A and B are shown apart, each in its own frame.
Chain A
Amino acid sequence: MTEQIGRRVPRKEDRRLLAGHARFGADVQFPRMAHVRVVRSPVAHGTVSRIATEAARAQPGVIDVVTAEDLPADLRIPVRLHVEGTDPGERLQPVLASHTVRYVGEPLAVVAAEDAYLAEDAAELVELEIDELPARLDAGSGDDEVVADFGLGYGDVESAFAGAAHVARLEFSVQRHSGVPLEPRALTVDYVPATGGVEIFGATKVPGFNRRVLAQLLDVDESVIHLHAVDAGGGFGVRGEFYPEDFLVPWLARRLRRPVSWVEDRAEHLVAVNHSRQQRHRLEVAAAGDGTILGLRDDVWHDNGAYVRTHGVIVPELTLSMLPGPYRVPAYSGRVRVALTNKTPCGTYRAPGRFEGTAAREQLLDLVAAELGMDRVELRRRNLLTPGELPHTRAMHTLGTELVLDSGDYPRLLDRALDTVDELGWRELVARGRAQGRLLGLGLSLFLEKSGLGPHDTADVEITSTGRVRVHSGGTSLGQGIETVLAQIVADEFGVSVDRVDVVNGDTTLQPFGTGSWASRSTVVAGSAVRGAGRAVALRVRELGAEVLEAAPEDVELADGVVRVRGAATARALDLAEVWLAAQPGSPWLRDGEPAGLSARHRFAVDRMTYPYGAHVCVVEVDPGSGGVTVLRYLVAYEVGRAVNPALVEGQLRGGVAQGVGGALLEEFRYDESGQPQCTTFMDYLMPTASEVPAVEIVLCEDAPATTNPLGARGAGEGGLTGAGAAVASAVSDAIGRPAMTGLPLDPGSVLAALGTVTGPAAASADGIP
């Protein structure tokens, strides 16, 4: 069997998904299931004087109506990712609000009924008396509740700026938007009378963490809580974190002693699930006359919404720690103030902190290039870290790890991206369009990513009765194809195809030590764990096979799923099912005291992350009449270390670009002056369709294998998105002859405003692109 790693193996997930036989959270149904509807605050800020549930309770088919009074006192959802030195204090989100509501959509009560339609009817009858209070809607307005104020940096920034030939300044804002997966959240929970425990279907991301939190909040042993693996309709950071419903639904199943189903509708999703991205940056770069960066400063306001949720203040920490990007920045100082507002609380969205910071930094670099009259590519090339300067340590911590940029060749990646752009003739495309009087622009951004966050993950591998290889991994399937990737990794240990491998991700009973899928970590960390476990089982297979074959272990080989004496092709061979049989209790080959079966558990631990990097290049056209922006061409160059499945890496990058185009041009959660959300349908929250997303050229680089893991892999989940806001902004500013844009989204209004004084076609770019 040829090596499976590196091949474009068709996905194992596809068959069930294409046939309509997948199992998503809402597909799991039990007899006598109660259906839940959450009653949410209709106001942004207020004091709750009364919640009247009598009318709802009186409805036929209503089983229960619950408010905060019915719950254990002061239940709050803890932070999963702490940032040292910060304390969210009283601003952790309660499971149900009691005295005060702080955003539209905050859960206040829960109705359980025999049918989802009845539950929704009854929820309408829950009467809320809330005295409205003024809503705080803007971070940095002068009247702020700052929940964290911290800085990161290194070097002598003051001196760098004092001695600089040139200082460029930019204010750049990024709008509130989020992951918005196509499947809304859904939880089905079955009650287990014998233990008082719960079987949970639908929490996909960090099931191990969620089980721990739920066990603590319910005051039960973790062993009676079982989170099952189900399909999930996209994660993007928002799905699977511990939300109020993740307590309420299991708690209700125990209270009612029957199965309970909750399916979020889209209007709820858009006000309930983590928002993200909203930041305002005030950046300054100190540069020498030749464009060499001497120092960098950023002062950030981060709007975190009404509460601190499971991500704590990790998103702004990531903004600060990753802001210097792939460049040689001798001195850096970043400060962030995390402010609370009366809007939906925030968490991570794919490329959290980096989409925002990369857009701000790259626009600053475009600005300084324009101000110095330099080519913006040349400015970047001059400041990129070279391979000889890696590994490069920045005296900062992020996600609790030391920030050490591992191996890489950033200038080479830039060359590969630009060579491809030349081959594709994009500069000529822009020049031709401009010659016709059209507003075309070419945009470029470079970015640094992070991936493969530890500290550990655990995997089990076992051989089953028909000689199949079974994996119980700590990752979770969110649609990214991790089942296939893990199958490829383990298949090579036995020389079998992925068709002989079964992968179960994220089942807390089968794999109690899993740490979940997020932060572009699963191929790297779960993959390395699976490889280790597979290797241990393969060794056991060879040893036991050697005994059966009456050969020395070093004389047998395991290839194509068969153990045989090396060099003796005609000799007796054992397939995996036969070796499995030899490992069963009662087998003459099993020694006294030796455990039966063929299985192993492996924990892969790693202290540091690995840092992928890349470039985005795009061509846009601006309609001077409407201010509309059309993305005509798009390219991503990405260093992935080693692509376990290149097709899936490309898919990750393409999907990221689609979301990035949405974030750059279309998507925004807007509020009116009283804090009422204005984007609660897909008519108002605009996600890109096939008409807005161009075909994406991919330059997939495997020039710099990661040094932090045995696979050499770097994560690939986020790099399609990280540089997108930056590249589109760069292209729009190029199209309209502005040195830099001042924020996202580049919606028609803001583009028209930026066009403002521009008359006629844009002046030729200072840097000669094209």
Chain B
Amino acid sequence: MKDQHLVTLTVNGREHELVLESRRTLADTLRQELGLTGTHLGCEHGICGACTVLLDGEPVRACLVFGVQADGREIRTVEGLADGDELNDLQQAFSRHHGLQCGFCTPGFLMLAEAYLAGGGSADPGEVREVVSANLCRCTGYQGIVEAVTEVAARRREQAAKAHD
């Protein structure tokens, strides 16, 4: 007997009504019910962070959250970062700094960094390194990731300061 629930998820600004089994993870919900396969599963036990998405703006491991727990909440995934064909500043910085190779961990790092930046994250490379050590990358040695996030943090702070003036 399946334990099913009708839930409403808002994903990247779009509302979806879904019937979900209670045990279905948010990651599987996004990937299989909604076809948003940009969210990747690297360990399914909350360590690697490849499945990181924003739930009401906070980074969560989508493998450790059930889909039903996201009922009525806002979810942001990697597919929501670009503006049409135009990659956002963080995505562009990752490419410029060679912050990705196989790209499997990349969506998780992008979402983790987006949350950090949205919270006014500092452009101190040491602090950025500490923050991104929440997730695992097996290809890059992290250097390009740290450089990309640091650069965008500096730019966004500059822009925020200008907007404030």
Contact = CB atoms under 8 A, between A and B. Distances in A.
Q: Are A and B interaction partners?
A: yes
Contacts of B50: 182
A268 to B, nearest CB: 10
A693 interface: yes
Contacts of B16: none
Interface string B91-111: 100111010111111110010
Contact of B104 (A116, A233, A683): A233
A479 interface: yes
A654 B140 contact: yes
Nearest to A656: B141
A266 B45 contact: yes
B24 interface: yes
Interface string B107-143: 1001000000000000000000110111111111111
Residue among B37, B77, B81 having the largest count of chain A Cβ atoms under 10 Å: B37
Contacts of A481: 101
B87 interface: yes
A182 B42 contact: yes
Range of interface residues on chain B? 35 or more
B163 to A, nearest CB: 26
A20 B94 CA distance: 13
A187 to B, nearest CB: 15
Interface residues of A, number: 58
Contacts of B44: 265-266
Interface stretch (A10-18, A319-327, A670-678): A10-18
A26 B35 CA distance: 11
Contacts of B139: 182, 234, 479, 651, 655
Contact of B145 (A24, A657, A690): A690
B133 A22 contact: no
A19 B129 contact: no
Given A18-B100, A20-B78, A687 B136 contact: yes
Given A182-B138, A655-B140, A682 B47 contact: yes
B39 interface: yes
Contacts of A181: 102, 104, 138
A22 B103 contact: yes
A657 B139 CA distance: 10
A17 B106 contact: yes
A183 B87 contact: no
Nearest to B96: A10
A600 B84 CA distance: 37
Contacts of B94: 14, 18
A657 B137 CA distance: 13
B107 to A, nearest CB: 6
A21 interface: yes
B98 A647 contact: yes
A696 B141 CA distance: 8
A14 B40 contact: no
Contacts of A493: none
A201 B153 CA distance: 38
Interface in A159-200: 179-184
B155 interface: no
B64 interface: no
A657 B143 CA distance: 11
Contacts of A58: none
A330 B24 CA distance: 64
Interface in A650-664: 650-651, 654-659
Given A10-B96, A182-B104, A648-B98, A682 B142 contact: no
Q: Is the interface of A mostly helix, strand, loop or mixed?
A: loop
A702 to B, nearest CB: 19
A234 B144 CA distance: 17
B39 to A, nearest CB: 7
A232 B103 CA distance: 8
A376 to B, nearest CB: 26
Given A19-B38, A231-B103, A10 B95 contact: yes
Residue among A14, A21, A231 having the largest count of chain B Cβ atoms under 10 Å: A14
Given A17-B106, A19-B91, A182 B98 contact: no
Contacts of B103: 13-14, 16-18, 22, 231, 233, 479
Contacts of A21: 38, 79
A231 B102 contact: yes
Nearest to A11: B95
A651 B42 contact: no
A667 B100 CA distance: 22
Interface string A685-718: 0010111010110000000000000000000000
A232 B139 CA distance: 12
Contact of B39 (A20, A655, A695): A20
A15 B103 CA distance: 10
A690 B98 contact: no
Residue among A23, A24, A116, A690 having the largest count of chain B Cβ atoms under 10 Å: A690
Residue among A19, A23, A687 having the largest count of chain B Cβ atoms under 10 Å: A19
B91 A690 contact: no
Given A14-B100, A17-B103, A695 B143 contact: yes
B104 A183 contact: yes
Nearest to A650: B98
A233 to B, nearest CB: 3
Interface string A443-480: 00000000000000000000000000000000000111
Contact of A234 (B47, B104, B110): B104
27 contacts: A11-B95, A11-B98, A17-B102, A19-B82, A20-B79, A20-B81, A22-B38, A181-B104, A182-B48, A182-B139, A183-B40, A231-B104, A233-B104, A234-B101, A234-B138, A480-B101, A647-B98, A648-B98, A651-B101, A655-B138, A655-B141, A659-B138, A681-B43, A681-B45, A682-B47, A689-B136, A690-B142
Given A14-B103, A658-B140, 9 more contacts: A18-B81, A20-B38, A20-B78, A182-B42, A183-B42, A266-B44, A687-B136, A689-B142, A690-B146
